[in-house]
Structure 1
Amino acid sequence: MIPGTEKMADLHDRLAAAALRDGLLDIAYRTIDSPVGPLLLAATERGLVRVAYDREDHDAVLAQLADKISPRILHEPGRLDLAVRELDEYFARTRRSFDLPLDWRLAAGFRSAVLHHLPDIGYGQTASYAEVAVLAGSPKAVRAVGTACAKNPLPVVVPCHRVVRSDGAMGGYLGGPQAKRLLLDLEAA
């Protein structure tokens, strides 16, 4: 262990506890290893607000959260224990849907409507962008569905990976094609 590391960890823990106690912590975050690579998880007191792939640049995501929600952000893994447990269960194939509270403030308008319908696509199933547009109440908004999926602040948990092209091809994915394929294969097994 590097000299002073234990003292720094203890200081961090005390500062995090004080920030939480005094209402100075608006966003807690942590990273986890997963089969689709490192994931950044961020939560507010309302619930999980952001899941970010490594390719999104975790530092940039935290900066965006500071701009859009609050600069009072702290590495506080404890607030994300439920999210970590549910994601671990999902990746272990023992969980098919997520029950944790979600903070939807990063999605608005039609994008929010699309994202709220994605959990209706069952585990191991897929739906086309066109089918999701119908579910969201705007059958002609196929491209807007693609944009909503591409800007999903809660990938994996809100399953945009289950949305595919009408011809059955995978289409794009925020986490990249390998991550989308892995998630679809995981659910198909």
Structure 2
Amino acid sequence: MDYTAHYQSPLGGITMASDGRFLTGLWFDGQKYFGSTLGQDHEERDLPVFRQTAEWLDIYFSGREPGFRPQLCRMGTEFRREVWNILLTVPYGQTITYAEIARRMAESRGLPHLSAQAVGGAVGHNPVSILVPCHRVVGSDGSLTGYAGGLDRKRSLLRLEGVASAFLSEKKMRQK
């Protein structure tokens, strides 16, 4: 059985999902791939993981780096989980490029290269937005490319974290 709860953020409603113990999803309401980890049967319930996630989000949206992370269960292919694990290493207030993630993964697999587009697909399908910081991934030229929650939200999240304004300029924004 899957469970859900709602959180109202400064950037809109957020739906949280859990298997009863771990956080399995966190989406801006209506975003692309919304509810991708939810089964047909789910019910709203107050759970400790939701209270902990709401506390994390309260701290985050106040402009501070939370010093903890709720327990996550990242459901997806091995490739996607590997990408998401790299995202978890990107510090608050910093960014990484799709190409850098691809380079790291190729190196760890002993490959000469790996497709940045394949990495982009995995980043885009991240079911735990914000906590697994897919919003910190930018194009090689610093452009803000794709975000399932929308580019305006991506820009807002990066500004909240104090990312240099050069990355946030209108000239550097493009959609995939």
Shorter-chain TM-score range: 0.7 to 0.9
Q: Which runs of 5+ in 2 are unaligned?
A: 164-176
Partner of 1:93: 63
Partner of 1:124: 93
Q: CA RMSD in A?
A: 2.1
Residues of 1 paired with 2:45 and 2:153: CA distance? 26
Residues of 1 paired with 2:81 and 2:88: CA distance? 12
1:96 and 1:123 in contact (8 A); partners too: no
Pairs aligned (count): 157
The answer as to 2:137 corresponding to 1:163 is yes
Partner of 2:174: none
The answer as to 2:54 corresponding to 1:84 is yes
Q: After superposition, what is the alpha-carbon deviation per residue over 1:45-98, rounded to whole angstroms, capped at 9, x for unaligned? A: 34100011122389x628x6114xxx2x21112341011111111111232464
Larger Rg: 1
The runs of 4+ residues in structure 1 deviating greater than 4 Å are none
Matched position secondary structure for 1:120:
coil
Residues of 2 paired with 1:95 and 1:167: CA distance? 26
2:28 and 2:149 in contact (8 A); partners too: yes
Partner of 2:78: 109
1:111 and 1:144 in contact (8 A); partners too: no
Q: Which runs of 5+ in 1 are unaligned?
A: 1-25
* Identity score, percent: 33
2:65 and 2:92 in contact (8 A); partners too: no
2:24 and 2:74 in contact (8 A); partners too: yes
